[in-house]
Structure 1
Amino acid sequence: MRLNQREIDAIKAVVIEICGDRAVVRLFGSRLDDSAKGGDIDLMVELDEAVDHPARLSAWLSVKVMRATQGRKVDVILAAPNLEELPIHRIGREQGVILSHE
C-alpha cells in the first residue's frame, strides 16, 4: 500500500469528521500496488444511512482529504442504502483495503 500511516490517519480523521465514526473507508486502485508510481488516491466510503446530496458529500470529502494529504488527487465514491450500486462499488469491496489506525 502506497500510503503512510500519517496519510491513513488523516484520511480517517476527515471521514470521521464529516461522516461519523461508523463510516468504513476502503482504499482501492493503483495505490495498493507497491511497485507502481504516482496515481491518485481512490477511496470508497461506505455509510449505513441514506445520503441526501451524494455528489456534494463526495466532492467535499475529496477536497478535505486532498488538503490533508498535501494536495494528492483524491477520488471518492460513496456507498449508501439509497445510492445505486455500480460495478465500481463491487471493485472497491473486492479489491479494496479497509483503512484503520495502527
Structure 2
Amino acid sequence: MRLTIQEVDVIKATARRIFGSGVRIWLFGSRVDDSKRGGDIDLYLETDEILESAGQAASRFGAELQMQLGEQKIDVLVVDPATQRQKIHEIALSTGICL
C-alpha cells in the first residue's frame, strides 16, 4: 500500500469526523499496488447511516483531505444504505485494502 501511516491516520480521522465513528474505509486502485508509482488516491467509504447528501459529504471529505494531505487527486465513493450498488463498488471492495 502506497500511503504513509500519517496519511492513513489523516484519512481515518477526517472520515470519522464527517461520517461518524462507524464509517468503514477502503483504499483501492493503483495505490494498493506497491510496484506502481504515482496515481490518485481512490477511497471507498461505507456507512450504516443514511446520508442526506452522499455526494455533498464526499465532496467535503475530499476537499478536507486535500487541505491536509496537499495537492493530489483524490477520488471518493460513499455508500450508505440508500445507495444503489454498482460494479465499481464491488471492485473497490474486492480489490481494496480496509484501512
Please tell me the TM-score bracket, short chain as reference.
over 0.9
Shift of 1:23: 0.1
How large is the Cα RMSD of the aligned pairs?
A: 0.8
Provide the TM-score with structure 1 as the length reference. 0.93
Unaligned 5+ residue runs, structure 1?
none
Equivalent residue for 1:79?
A: 79
Note if contact 1:10-1:65 (Cα within 8 Å) is conserved in structure 2. Answer: yes
- Unpaired segments of 5 or more residues in structure 2? none
* Counterparts of 2:44 and 2:68, CA distance in 1: 17
Q: Who is 2:60 aligned against?
A: 60
Partner residue of 2:38? Answer: 38
- Give the counterpart letter for 1:26 in structure 2: W
Q: Aligned partners of 2:39 and 2:28: how far apart in 1? A: 11
Note the C-alpha offset of 1:73.
Answer: 1.1
Alignment of 1:1-102 (within 5 A): 1-99=1-99
Hey, what's the Cα distance between the residues in 2 that align with 1:92 and 1:54? 17
